[in-house]
């Protein structure tokens, strides 16, 4: 099949396939007229790449999977190098999720602090003579 059909069957674009080829990830045979020619095996390689890309893997990270398939293995993750990429990705994800959770907590704190400060100011503005706090929540302005 030609590039347009492969792209369509994988739900991507011809530009993307040429890009993968330029990166050495998905080389193509050529038919007599110079057109790129692909087969079902290429479609499997491409689907492997796309799946990993959808997971957020870098293109380079998909390379071991592609090479594993090309080596004749039934799955892209049948090789140790692919498993290593999986593990590295899990570590990266854990680290990233942890960082984001920490940031989330800090931003949440900042929001709560800023909101309570605004409420205090609003209350003071409403009763200029003095809030006269019945409980211990009344704070003097910074």
Query: Which residues are near DNA by CB under 7 A?
Result: 2-5, 12-16, 18-19, 28, 32-36, 53, 58-60
How far apart CA 48 and CA 75 sit, in angstroms, is 9
5 binds, among DNA, its own copies, none (CB under 5 to 8 A by kind): DNA
- Do 48 and 20 touch, CB atoms closer than 8 A? no
Q: Whole-number minimum distance, CB 26 to DNA, in Å?
A: 11
Nearer to its own copies, 14 or 53 (CB): 53
Q: Whole-number minimum distance, CB 54 to DNA, in Å?
A: 10
Rounded to the nearest angstrom, the gap between the alpha carbon of residue 65 and the centroid of all alpha carbons in its chain is 18
Q: Whole-number minimum distance, CB 84 to DNA, in Å?
A: 18
How far apart CA 115 and CA 119 sit, in angstroms, is 6
Going through the chain in order, the beta strands assigned E by DSSP cover 29-30, 36-37
24 binds, among its own copies, DNA, none (CB under 5 to 8 A by kind): none
Nearer to its own copies, 3 or 62 (CB): 62
Nearer to its own copies, 135 or 140 (CB): 140
Query: Coil, helix or strand for 30?
Result: strand
Structure-token match 């959770």, residue found: 101
């Amino acid at each position: 099949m030609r590039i347009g059909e492969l792209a369509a069957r994988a739900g991507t674009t011809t530009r993307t396939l040429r890009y993968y080829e330029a990166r050495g990830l998905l080389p193509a045979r050529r038919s007599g007229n110079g057109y790129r020619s692909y087969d079902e095996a290429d479609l499997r390689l491409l689907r492997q790449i796309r799946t990993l890309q959808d997971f957020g893997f870098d293109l380079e990270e998909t390379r071991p999977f592609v090479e594993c398939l090309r080596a004749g293995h039934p799955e892209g993750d049948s090789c140790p190098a692919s498993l290593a990429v999986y593990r590295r990705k899990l570590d990266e994800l854990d680290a990233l999720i942890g960082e984001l959770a920490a940031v989330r907590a800090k931003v949440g704190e900042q929001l709560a602090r800023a909101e309570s400060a605004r409420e205090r100011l609003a209350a003071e503005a409403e009763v200029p003579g003095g809030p006269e706090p019945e409980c211990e929540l009344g704070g003097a302005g910074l």
